[in-house]
């Protein structure tokens, strides 16, 4: 694959991820307010499962294209054309500040998606078991729903920062800096 193709795929994956985060915050969360509670639970359960896998898939493809971009760049750096990749130490260079920033953003996003999908989301759909206090279960659900709201907003903010870093002007041409 060429660096142009990898740069295009990287951009599409970031756009898909950020678009999904924006959809969750701007459309899905407000829509839930008008849906009856019983339906909200079922819809949130289905949406949460789907969003988790789409988000993790996008993050996996972002990592794969970034690694491919780095490998394609490292093959040209040894041939005396380091300037084409931004040169060592420049903002667009492999291992430059953009690569480190995107790696940190990527790790935070993966952690948030796993935290939301594996811990917080299931807690908001817990069922009452025999002998369990339903009032306490309701309080636990509300806490997990509030935590999910906060985590979704943090995720959106981090994703937007990542998109800004990925789009930051640099000297190595279009595409990811990783």
DSSP secondary structure string for all residues of 17-73? HHHHHHHIIIIIHHHHTTS-HHHHHHHHHHHHHHHHHHHHHHHHHHHHHHHHHHHHH
- Which of 68, 69, 85 lies closest to 77, judged by CA? 85
Q: What is the mean pLDDT of the chain?
A: 76
Rounded-to-integer distance, Cα 150 and Cα 157, Å: 11
Query: Quick check: is 177 in a domain?
Result: no
Query: Quick check: is 127 in a domain?
Result: yes
Segment among 4-8, 63-67, 89-93, 140-144 with least mean pLDDT: 89-93
Between 139 and 10, the more confident residue is: 10
Say if residue 80's pLDDT is above 70: no
What per-residue confidence (pLDDT) applies to 84? 38
The b/e string for 106-115 (b: 16+ C-beta within 10 A; e otherwise) is bebbbebbee
Query: Quick check: is 159 in a domain?
Result: yes
Percentage of residues in the chain having pLDDT higher than 90: 14
Mean pLDDT, residues 135-155 taken together: 82
What per-residue confidence (pLDDT) applies to 34? 83
Q: Which domain holds residue 53?
A: 3-167
Say if residue 108's pLDDT is above 90: yes
Q: Identify whether the C-beta of residue 139 lies closer than 8 Å to the C-beta of residue 128.
A: no
Query: Quick check: is 25 in a domain?
Result: yes
Query: Quick check: is 117 in a domain?
Result: yes
Question: pLDDT class for 155, splitting at 50, 70, 90?
Answer: very high
Say if residue 171's pLDDT is above 60: no
- Which of 73, 47, 66, 31 lies closest to 162, judged by CA? 66
* Most confident residue range from 40-49, 84-93, 168-177: 40-49
Percentage of residues in the chain having pLDDT higher than 70: 75
Query: Quick check: is 173 in a domain?
Result: no
The phi, psi pair for 106, rounded to 5°, reads -60, -45
Number of domains in the chain: 1
Rounded-to-integer distance, Cα 105 and Cα 176, Å: 13
Between 123 and 18, the more confident residue is: 18
* Most confident residue range from 47-56, 131-140, 141-150: 47-56
Query: Quick check: is 178 in a domain?
Result: no
> pLDDT tens-digit profile of 109-129?
999 988 888 877 766 666 666
Q: Identify whether the C-beta of residue 55 lies closer than 8 Å to the C-beta of residue 175.
A: no
Q: Which pTM was predicted?
A: 0.71
CB atoms within 10 A of CB 11: 18
What per-residue confidence (pLDDT) applies to 133? 76
Query: Quick check: is 56 in a domain?
Result: yes
């Amino acid at each position: 694959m060429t660096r142009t193709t990898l740069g295009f795929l990287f951009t599409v994956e970031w756009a898909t991820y950020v678009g999904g985060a924006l959809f969750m915050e701007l459309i899905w969360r407000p829509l839930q307010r008008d849906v009856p509670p019983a339906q909200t639970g079922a819809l949130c359960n289905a949406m949460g499962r789907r969003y988790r896998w789409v988000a993790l898939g996008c993050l996996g493809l972002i990592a794969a294209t970034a690694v491919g971009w780095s490998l394609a760049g490292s093959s040209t750096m040894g041939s005396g054309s380091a300037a084409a990749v931004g040169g060592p130490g420049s903002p667009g260079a492999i291992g430059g500040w953009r690569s480190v920033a995107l790696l940190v953003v990527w790790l935070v996003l993966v952690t948030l998606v796993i935290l939301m999908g594996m811990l917080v989301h299931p807690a908001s759909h817990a069922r009452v078991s025999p002998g369990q206090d339903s009032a306490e279960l309701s309080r636990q659900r509300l806490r997990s729903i509030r935590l999910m709201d906060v985590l979704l907003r943090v995720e959106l903010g981090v994703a937007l920062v990542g998109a800004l870093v990925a789009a930051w002007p640099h000297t190595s041409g279009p595409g990811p800096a990783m």
